[in-house]
Protein backbone atom coordinates (compact mmCIF):
# COMPACT_ATOMS: atom_id res chain seq x y z
CA UNK A 1 0.00 0.00 0.00
CA UNK A 2 2.85 2.35 0.74
CA UNK A 3 4.75 2.01 -2.49
CA UNK A 4 4.85 5.27 -4.39
CA UNK A 5 3.91 3.72 -7.67
CA UNK A 6 0.61 2.83 -6.10
CA UNK A 7 -1.39 6.02 -5.76
CA UNK A 8 -4.82 5.85 -4.33
CA UNK A 9 -6.33 9.32 -4.19
CA UNK A 10 -9.32 9.77 -1.97
CA UNK A 11 -11.34 12.85 -1.23
CA UNK A 12 -14.76 13.70 0.15
CA UNK A 13 -17.14 16.37 -1.04
CA UNK A 14 -19.72 17.67 1.41
CA UNK A 15 -23.23 18.03 -0.02
CA UNK A 16 -24.17 21.24 1.76
CA UNK A 17 -25.40 23.38 -1.12
CA UNK A 18 -25.29 24.06 -4.82
CA UNK A 19 -21.76 23.81 -6.23
CA UNK A 20 -20.27 27.08 -7.47
CA UNK A 21 -17.32 28.32 -9.51
CA UNK A 22 -15.08 28.37 -6.43
CA UNK A 23 -15.75 24.68 -5.80
CA UNK A 24 -15.06 23.94 -9.45
CA UNK A 25 -11.70 25.66 -9.77
CA UNK A 26 -10.61 24.96 -6.19
CA UNK A 27 -11.59 21.32 -5.84
CA UNK A 28 -13.48 19.63 -8.68
CA UNK A 29 -11.25 20.47 -11.61
CA UNK A 30 -7.98 19.50 -9.83
CA UNK A 31 -9.52 16.23 -8.62
CA UNK A 32 -10.73 15.38 -12.09
CA UNK A 33 -7.23 15.91 -13.46
CA UNK A 34 -5.87 13.47 -10.86
CA UNK A 35 -8.03 10.65 -12.23
CA UNK A 36 -5.35 10.07 -14.85
CA UNK A 37 -2.53 9.71 -12.30
CA UNK A 38 -3.79 6.90 -10.12
CA UNK A 39 -6.77 5.22 -8.60
CA UNK A 40 -9.37 7.71 -7.42
CA UNK A 41 -11.94 7.26 -4.65
CA UNK A 42 -14.28 10.25 -4.65
CA UNK A 43 -17.27 10.25 -2.36
CA UNK A 44 -20.19 12.43 -1.36
CA UNK A 45 -19.74 13.03 2.36
CA UNK A 46 -23.38 13.02 3.39
CA UNK A 47 -22.70 11.88 6.97
CA UNK A 48 -20.39 14.86 7.34
CA UNK A 49 -22.94 17.24 5.83
CA UNK A 50 -25.28 16.24 8.64
CA UNK A 51 -23.30 18.36 11.07
CA UNK A 52 -25.16 21.25 9.42
CA UNK A 53 -28.01 19.87 7.27
CA UNK A 54 -30.87 18.44 9.34
CA UNK A 55 -33.51 18.16 6.65
CA UNK A 56 -33.81 14.78 4.92
CA UNK A 57 -35.24 16.17 1.70
CA UNK A 58 -32.68 18.89 1.43
CA UNK A 59 -29.85 16.45 2.09
CA UNK A 60 -31.13 14.18 -0.69
CA UNK A 61 -31.35 17.15 -3.02
CA UNK A 62 -27.79 18.29 -2.30
CA UNK A 63 -26.44 14.76 -2.71
CA UNK A 64 -28.10 14.50 -6.12
CA UNK A 65 -26.84 17.94 -7.11
CA UNK A 66 -23.26 17.12 -6.11
CA UNK A 67 -23.43 13.81 -7.99
CA UNK A 68 -24.70 15.52 -11.15
CA UNK A 69 -22.04 18.19 -10.81
CA UNK A 70 -19.11 15.79 -10.61
CA UNK A 71 -20.37 13.71 -13.49
CA UNK A 72 -21.01 16.81 -15.59
CA UNK A 73 -17.54 18.14 -14.82
CA UNK A 74 -15.88 15.01 -16.11
CA UNK A 75 -15.65 12.47 -13.31
CA UNK A 76 -15.26 9.18 -15.13
CA UNK A 77 -17.12 6.47 -13.21
CA UNK A 78 -15.08 3.78 -14.99
CA UNK A 79 -11.85 5.20 -13.62
CA UNK A 80 -12.93 6.71 -10.34
CA UNK A 81 -14.80 4.90 -7.60
CA UNK A 82 -17.63 7.37 -7.02
CA UNK A 83 -19.99 6.71 -4.13
CA UNK A 84 -22.08 8.11 -1.38
CA UNK A 85 -20.45 7.88 2.05
CA UNK A 86 -23.58 6.50 3.75
CA UNK A 87 -23.79 3.68 1.20
CA UNK A 88 -20.88 2.11 3.05
CA UNK A 89 -22.05 2.37 6.67
CA UNK A 90 -19.08 0.21 7.73
CA UNK A 91 -17.25 3.52 8.00
CA UNK A 92 -19.16 4.07 11.25
CA UNK A 93 -17.83 0.85 12.74
CA UNK A 94 -14.29 1.86 11.90
CA UNK A 95 -14.97 5.29 13.41
CA UNK A 96 -15.72 3.57 16.71
CA UNK A 97 -12.54 1.52 16.70
CA UNK A 98 -10.52 4.63 15.87
CA UNK A 99 -12.21 6.60 18.62
CA UNK A 100 -10.86 4.12 21.17
CA UNK A 101 -7.35 5.45 20.51
CA UNK A 102 -8.24 9.10 19.88
CA UNK A 103 -7.32 11.47 22.72
CA UNK A 104 -9.95 14.07 23.58
CA UNK A 105 -7.28 16.74 23.56
CA UNK A 106 -6.47 16.08 19.92
CA UNK A 107 -10.06 16.83 18.91
CA UNK A 108 -10.29 19.80 21.27
CA UNK A 109 -7.36 21.36 19.42
CA UNK A 110 -9.07 21.15 16.03
CA UNK A 111 -9.51 24.63 14.59
CA UNK A 112 -12.48 23.65 12.43
CA UNK A 113 -14.43 22.70 15.56
CA UNK A 114 -13.46 25.85 17.42
CA UNK A 115 -14.32 27.99 14.37
CA UNK A 116 -17.73 26.41 13.95
CA UNK A 117 -18.55 26.98 17.62
CA UNK A 118 -17.30 30.56 17.38
CA UNK A 119 -19.64 31.09 14.43
CA UNK A 120 -22.55 29.97 16.57
CA UNK A 121 -22.93 26.40 15.37
CA UNK A 122 -24.26 24.19 18.19
CA UNK A 123 -21.52 22.10 19.81
CA UNK A 124 -22.88 18.68 18.88
CA UNK A 125 -21.06 15.42 19.39
CA UNK A 126 -21.04 14.93 15.61
CA UNK A 127 -19.25 18.22 15.08
CA UNK A 128 -16.69 17.25 17.72
CA UNK A 129 -16.00 13.78 16.30
CA UNK A 130 -16.06 14.97 12.67
CA UNK A 131 -12.29 14.40 12.29
CA UNK A 132 -12.55 10.79 13.51
CA UNK A 133 -15.15 9.99 10.88
CA UNK A 134 -12.95 11.71 8.32
CA UNK A 135 -10.01 9.55 9.42
CA UNK A 136 -12.21 6.48 8.97
CA UNK A 137 -13.17 7.64 5.46
CA UNK A 138 -9.53 7.64 4.50
CA UNK A 139 -8.23 4.63 6.43
CA UNK A 140 -11.07 2.32 5.41
CA UNK A 141 -9.81 2.46 1.82
CA UNK A 142 -6.04 2.52 2.41
CA UNK A 143 -5.84 5.81 0.54
CA UNK A 144 -2.24 7.01 0.47
CA UNK A 145 -2.75 10.44 -1.09
CA UNK A 146 -5.52 12.78 0.04
CA UNK A 147 -5.96 15.94 -2.07
CA UNK A 148 -7.49 18.66 0.08
CA UNK A 149 -7.45 22.41 0.59
CA UNK A 150 -5.30 24.11 3.23
CA UNK A 151 -8.24 24.19 5.67
CA UNK A 152 -8.22 20.37 5.89
CA UNK A 153 -4.51 20.03 6.67
CA UNK A 154 -5.07 19.66 10.40
CA UNK A 155 -7.64 16.93 9.82
CA UNK A 156 -5.04 15.01 7.83
CA UNK A 157 -2.57 15.34 10.69
CA UNK A 158 -5.23 13.99 13.03
CA UNK A 159 -5.85 11.10 10.63
CA UNK A 160 -2.16 10.22 10.58
CA UNK A 161 -1.90 10.42 14.37
CA UNK A 162 -4.95 8.22 14.84
CA UNK A 163 -3.69 5.66 12.32
CA UNK A 164 -0.29 5.50 14.01
CA UNK A 165 -1.88 5.10 17.43
CA UNK A 166 -4.13 2.35 16.14
CA UNK A 167 -1.21 0.53 14.52
CA UNK A 168 0.84 0.80 17.75
CA UNK A 169 -2.01 -0.15 20.08
CA UNK A 170 -3.50 -3.07 18.16
CA UNK A 171 -1.72 -4.27 15.06
CA UNK A 172 -0.16 -2.62 12.08
CA UNK A 173 -3.04 -2.80 9.61
CA UNK A 174 -3.70 0.81 8.61
CA UNK A 175 -1.98 2.75 5.83
CA UNK A 176 -0.62 6.16 6.80
CA UNK A 177 -1.90 8.68 4.25
CA UNK A 178 -0.12 11.74 2.89
CA UNK A 179 -2.03 14.96 2.35
CA UNK A 180 -1.64 16.68 -0.98
CA UNK A 181 -2.36 20.27 -0.14
CA UNK A 182 -3.62 22.20 -3.10
CA UNK A 183 -2.04 25.57 -2.45
CA UNK A 184 -1.55 26.65 -6.03
CA UNK A 185 -5.23 26.57 -6.98
CA UNK A 186 -6.91 29.85 -7.71
CA UNK A 187 -8.87 31.54 -4.97
CA UNK A 188 -12.02 32.41 -6.82
CA UNK A 189 -13.53 35.79 -5.90
CA UNK A 190 -17.25 36.09 -5.31
CA UNK A 191 -19.65 38.78 -6.49
CA UNK A 192 -18.69 41.06 -3.62
CA UNK A 193 -14.91 40.61 -4.03
CA UNK A 194 -14.59 38.34 -0.97
CA UNK A 195 -13.71 34.66 -1.46
CA UNK A 196 -16.60 32.96 -3.22
CA UNK A 197 -18.44 30.88 -0.64
CA UNK A 198 -21.91 29.52 0.07
CA UNK A 199 -21.67 31.16 3.47
CA UNK A 200 -21.39 34.66 1.96
CA UNK A 201 -24.19 34.36 -0.57
CA UNK A 202 -21.82 35.68 -3.24
CA UNK A 203 -21.55 32.64 -5.50
CA UNK A 204 -21.97 31.92 -9.18
CA UNK A 205 -23.66 28.54 -9.33
CA UNK A 206 -22.21 26.23 -11.93
CA UNK A 207 -25.50 24.76 -13.04
CA UNK A 208 -28.23 27.20 -12.05
CA UNK A 209 -30.54 28.74 -14.64
CA UNK A 210 -28.94 30.74 -17.47
CA UNK A 211 -31.07 33.72 -16.54
CA UNK A 212 -29.98 33.66 -12.92
CA UNK A 213 -26.34 33.20 -13.95
CA UNK A 214 -26.52 36.28 -16.18
CA UNK A 215 -28.18 38.29 -13.44
CA UNK A 216 -25.45 37.30 -10.97
CA UNK A 217 -22.59 38.12 -13.36
CA UNK A 218 -24.16 41.50 -14.19
CA UNK A 219 -24.44 42.07 -10.45
CA UNK A 220 -20.73 41.69 -9.69
CA UNK A 221 -19.66 44.59 -7.53
CA UNK A 222 -17.60 47.24 -9.36
CA UNK A 223 -16.59 50.80 -8.53
CA UNK A 224 -18.16 53.94 -9.99
CA UNK A 225 -15.51 54.85 -12.58
CA UNK A 226 -17.31 56.54 -15.50
CA UNK A 227 -17.46 54.72 -18.85
CA UNK A 228 -14.86 56.95 -20.55
CA UNK A 229 -12.23 56.71 -17.78
CA UNK A 230 -9.56 54.03 -17.33
CA UNK A 231 -10.56 51.45 -14.73
CA UNK A 232 -8.42 49.90 -12.02
CA UNK A 233 -7.11 46.44 -12.91
CA UNK A 234 -5.72 45.57 -9.44
CA UNK A 235 -8.06 43.33 -7.43
CA UNK A 236 -10.68 43.38 -10.16
CA UNK A 237 -13.08 40.47 -9.68
CA UNK A 238 -13.98 40.73 -13.35
CA UNK A 239 -10.39 40.22 -14.47
CA UNK A 240 -9.75 37.54 -11.85
CA UNK A 241 -12.78 35.58 -13.02
CA UNK A 242 -11.88 36.12 -16.67
CA UNK A 243 -8.40 34.69 -16.03
CA UNK A 244 -9.91 31.38 -14.95
CA UNK A 245 -11.33 30.68 -18.38
CA UNK A 246 -9.21 32.60 -20.88
CA UNK A 247 -5.80 32.34 -22.53
CA UNK A 248 -3.19 34.91 -21.52
CA UNK A 249 -3.63 36.76 -24.83
CA UNK A 250 -7.34 37.00 -24.19
CA UNK A 251 -6.69 38.23 -20.67
CA UNK A 252 -4.33 40.91 -22.04
CA UNK A 253 -6.95 42.06 -24.55
CA UNK A 254 -9.61 42.14 -21.84
CA UNK A 255 -7.38 44.06 -19.43
CA UNK A 256 -6.38 46.55 -22.13
CA UNK A 257 -9.99 47.70 -22.30
CA UNK A 258 -9.81 48.57 -18.59
CA UNK A 259 -6.64 50.64 -18.93
CA UNK A 260 -7.74 52.40 -22.11
CA UNK A 261 -11.10 53.53 -20.82
CA UNK A 262 -14.14 54.02 -23.03
CA UNK A 263 -15.65 50.64 -22.18
CA UNK A 264 -18.20 50.52 -19.36
CA UNK A 265 -18.46 47.88 -16.66
CA UNK A 266 -21.74 46.65 -18.15
CA UNK A 267 -19.97 45.84 -21.37
CA UNK A 268 -17.01 44.25 -19.57
CA UNK A 269 -19.40 42.08 -17.58
CA UNK A 270 -21.12 40.96 -20.78
CA UNK A 271 -17.79 39.89 -22.21
CA UNK A 272 -17.03 37.96 -19.04
CA UNK A 273 -20.45 36.33 -19.13
CA UNK A 274 -19.90 35.18 -22.70
CA UNK A 275 -16.51 33.76 -21.85
CA UNK A 276 -17.85 31.88 -18.82
CA UNK A 277 -20.82 30.56 -20.77
CA UNK A 278 -18.45 29.28 -23.45
CA UNK A 279 -16.20 27.59 -20.89
CA UNK A 280 -19.08 25.76 -19.22
CA UNK A 281 -21.24 25.02 -22.25
CA UNK A 282 -20.19 21.42 -22.63
CA UNK A 283 -20.44 20.69 -18.91
CA UNK A 284 -23.90 22.23 -18.80
CA UNK A 285 -25.00 19.98 -21.61
CA UNK A 286 -23.68 16.97 -19.76
CA UNK A 287 -25.39 18.18 -16.62
CA UNK A 288 -28.76 18.40 -18.39
CA UNK A 289 -28.25 15.01 -19.90
CA UNK A 290 -27.53 13.39 -16.52
CA UNK A 291 -30.34 15.36 -14.88
CA UNK A 292 -32.72 13.66 -17.28
CA UNK A 293 -31.36 10.22 -16.38
CA UNK A 294 -31.61 9.99 -12.59
CA UNK A 295 -31.63 6.19 -12.83
CA UNK A 296 -28.24 6.22 -14.52
CA UNK A 297 -26.87 8.48 -11.80
CA UNK A 298 -28.23 6.11 -9.17
CA UNK A 299 -26.67 3.14 -10.97
CA UNK A 300 -23.29 4.85 -11.13
CA UNK A 301 -23.34 5.57 -7.40
CA UNK A 302 -24.52 2.06 -6.70
CA UNK A 303 -21.72 0.49 -8.72
CA UNK A 304 -19.25 2.80 -6.98
CA UNK A 305 -20.63 1.83 -3.58
CA UNK A 306 -20.20 -1.85 -4.42
CA UNK A 307 -16.57 -1.37 -5.38
CA UNK A 308 -16.00 0.73 -2.27
CA UNK A 309 -17.75 -1.78 -0.08
CA UNK A 310 -15.61 -4.68 -1.21
CA UNK A 311 -12.49 -2.68 -0.28
CA UNK A 312 -14.05 -1.69 3.02
CA UNK A 313 -14.92 -5.29 3.86
CA UNK A 314 -11.29 -6.35 3.50
CA UNK A 315 -10.04 -3.57 5.72
CA UNK A 316 -12.68 -4.15 8.37
CA UNK A 317 -11.89 -7.83 8.42
CA UNK A 318 -8.29 -7.08 9.32
CA UNK A 319 -9.32 -4.36 11.76
CA UNK A 320 -11.82 -6.60 13.56
CA UNK A 321 -9.18 -9.29 13.88
CA UNK A 322 -6.76 -6.70 15.27
CA UNK A 323 -9.17 -5.38 17.91
CA UNK A 324 -10.82 -8.69 18.82
CA UNK A 325 -14.32 -8.35 17.38
CA UNK A 326 -13.98 -10.69 14.42
CA UNK A 327 -17.00 -13.02 14.43
CA UNK A 328 -16.01 -16.67 15.05
CA UNK A 329 -17.53 -19.17 12.67
P1 LIG B 1 -18.11 26.88 0.62
O2 LIG B 1 -17.11 27.90 1.12
O3 LIG B 1 -18.91 27.43 -0.50
O4 LIG B 1 -18.96 26.30 1.74
P5 LIG B 1 -16.72 24.38 0.77
O6 LIG B 1 -16.10 24.78 2.05
O7 LIG B 1 -17.79 23.34 0.78
O8 LIG B 1 -17.28 25.69 0.01
O9 LIG B 1 -15.57 23.97 -0.24
C10 LIG B 1 -15.52 22.79 -0.98
C11 LIG B 1 -14.23 22.82 -1.77
O12 LIG B 1 -14.19 23.92 -2.69
C13 LIG B 1 -12.99 22.98 -0.89
O14 LIG B 1 -11.98 22.12 -1.37
C15 LIG B 1 -12.58 24.42 -1.06
O16 LIG B 1 -11.20 24.60 -0.90
C17 LIG B 1 -13.04 24.74 -2.47
N18 LIG B 1 -13.43 26.15 -2.58
C19 LIG B 1 -14.53 26.72 -2.04
N20 LIG B 1 -14.60 28.03 -2.33
C21 LIG B 1 -13.50 28.33 -3.08
C22 LIG B 1 -13.00 29.53 -3.70
N23 LIG B 1 -13.65 30.68 -3.61
N24 LIG B 1 -11.83 29.45 -4.38
C25 LIG B 1 -11.18 28.27 -4.49
N26 LIG B 1 -11.59 27.11 -3.94
C27 LIG B 1 -12.74 27.13 -3.24
N1 LIG C 1 -13.91 17.53 5.67
C2 LIG C 1 -13.85 17.70 4.23
C3 LIG C 1 -14.34 19.13 3.87
O4 LIG C 1 -14.95 19.79 4.68
C5 LIG C 1 -14.72 16.68 3.51
C6 LIG C 1 -14.25 15.28 3.79
C7 LIG C 1 -14.90 14.34 4.52
C8 LIG C 1 -13.04 14.68 3.34
N9 LIG C 1 -14.18 13.18 4.54
C10 LIG C 1 -13.03 13.35 3.85
C11 LIG C 1 -11.96 15.14 2.57
C12 LIG C 1 -11.97 12.48 3.59
C13 LIG C 1 -10.90 14.26 2.32
C14 LIG C 1 -10.91 12.94 2.83
O15 LIG C 1 -14.10 19.57 2.76
Cβ of 197 below 6 Å from ligand 1: yes
**CA 174 – CA 180 distance, rounded (Å):** 19
Q: Which ligand is nearest to the CA of 195?
A: 1
Rounded to the nearest angstrom, the gap between the alpha carbon of residue 181 and the centroid of all alpha carbons in its chain is: 13
Q: Are 78 and 85 in contact (CB under 8 A)?
A: no
Do residues 77 and 114 make contact, with C-beta atoms less than 8 angstroms apart? no
CB distance 77 to ligand 1 below 6 Å: no
Does the beta carbon of 188 lie inside 6 Å of ligand 1? yes
Q: Is 206 in the pocket of ligand 1 (CB under 6 A)?
A: no
Residue 160 pLDDT > 80, yes or no?
yes
CB atoms within 10 A of CB 55: 9
Q: pLDDT (tens digit, 9 = 90+) per residue, 194-215?
A: 999 998 999 999 999 999 999 9
What is the rounded average pLDDT for all residues in the chain? Answer: 95
Distance 126 CA to ligand 1 centre (A): 21
Return the best residue to mutate from 15, 16, 22, 48 for the ligand 1 pocket (most ligand atoms within 8 A of CB). 22
Residue of the CA atom closest to atom 2 of ligand 2: 12
Per-residue model confidence (pLDDT) at position 155: 98
Q: Please state the atom number of ligand 1 nearest to the C-alpha of residue 196.
A: 23
The answer, yes or no, to whether any atom of ligand 2 lies below 6 A from the CB of 152, is: yes
- Percent of the chain that is helix, strand, coil (3-state, to 5): 55, 10, 35
At residue 22 the predicted structure's pLDDT band, cuts being 50, 70 and 90, is very high
Band (270; pLDDT cuts 50, 70, 90)? very high
State residue 101's pLDDT score. Answer: 98
What are the pLDDT digits (tens) for 35-92? 999 999 999 999 999 999 999 999 999 999 999 999 999 999 999 999 999 999 999 9
Residues 14 and 51: their CA atoms lie apart, in Å, by 10
For residue 217, pLDDT beyond 70: yes
Q: Is the CB of 25 under 6 A from ligand 1?
A: yes
Residue 3: the pLDDT is 55
Residues 48, 12 contacting (CB under 8 angstroms): yes
Q: Is the distance from the beta carbon of residue 127 to the nearest atom of ligand 2 less than 6 Å?
A: no
48 lines ligand 2 (CB under 6 A): yes
Please check the confidence at residue 174 and state whether its pLDDT lies above 60.
yes
List C-alpha distances in Å: 49 to 1, 43, 121, 319. Answer: 29, 12, 13, 26
The rounded distance, in Å, linking the Cα atoms of 12 and 156 is: 12
Instruction: Indicate if ligand 2 lies below 6 Å from the C-beta of 84.
Output: no
Q: What is the DSSP string of 123-183?
A: --HHHHHHHHHHHHHHHTTT--EEEE-GGGHHHHHHHHHHHHHHHHHS-S-PPPPEEEE--
Q: 10 near 141, Cβ under 8 Å?
A: yes
Determine the distance separating the centroid of ligand 1 and the alpha carbon of 280, expressed in angstroms. 18
Q: How far is the CA of 166 from the centre of ligand 1 (A)?
A: 31
Amino acid sequence: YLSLDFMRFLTGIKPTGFPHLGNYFGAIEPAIRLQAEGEAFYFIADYHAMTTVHDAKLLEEYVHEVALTWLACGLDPERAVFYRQSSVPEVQELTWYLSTVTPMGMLERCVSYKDAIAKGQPATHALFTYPVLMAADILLYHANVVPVGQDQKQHLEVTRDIANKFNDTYKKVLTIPEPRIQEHVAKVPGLDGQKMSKSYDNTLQLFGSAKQFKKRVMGIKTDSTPVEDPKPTEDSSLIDLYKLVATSEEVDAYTAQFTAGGVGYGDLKKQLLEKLNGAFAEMRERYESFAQRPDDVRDILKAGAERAQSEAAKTLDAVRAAVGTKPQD
